[in-house]
Amino acid sequence: MRKEIFQTIEIPEGVEVKLEDSELIVKGKEGENKKKFNLSKIDFEIKDNKITLGNKKSTKKEKKRINTFRAHIENMIKGVQEKFEYNLKVCFHHFPMTVTIREDDVEIKNFLGEKIPRIARLPKGAEIKVDKEFITVTSIDKEIAGQAAANLETATRITNKDRRVFQDGIFIINKAGKVM
């Protein structure tokens, strides 16, 4: 059954939104955020500080795409106003590990006494600060900040050992304002 579905998003002051072909560009005080959308069969309109997404005869797939696009656009607008921040904690019990930042990656030395350092790749656009046992990842784009935090967490994943005994690693403790 087809329904008429339209979603509106308010554009706050200090944020500029424009659509070029299928690429949405959002500018704000923190910077610029770009993302490509597949807008086939979806009406997209920017008017009077409001973005309207929708379709007069939407199917279930189009409804899902409209809601997903709305969530992405809201995250883009939040990101250019205030950066997304992920906090991680370095936990070790057996061997003291050190975390150092290089150009495009983070090097984790002496994890579980390993001689070869583990390396976590960082996506472009992520800013990382290491303060003793706390790591802060910030970015305008929520997906980039989340991916950088996930790369750090998976770099210290332990296999073939009992997780109850070996509790070393880097863990997300605060995720874009939500305490874990």
Domains of the chain (ranges plus CATH)?
3-81 (3.90.930.12), 84-179 (3.90.930.12)
What's the confidence (pLDDT) of residue 159?
87
Strand order in the sheet with 178-179: 127-131, 134-139, 84-91, 169-175, 178-179
Q: Which pLDDT tens digit goes with each residue over 10-57? A: 999 999 999 888 899 999 999 999 999 988 888 888 988 999 998 888
The Cα-based distances of 48 to 9, 13, 39, 80 in angstroms read: 11, 12, 21, 19
Mean pLDDT along residues 147-168:
89
pLDDT of residue 5: 87
pLDDT in tens, 87-142: 999 998 878 999 999 888 999 999 988 899 999 999 999 999 999 899 999 999 99
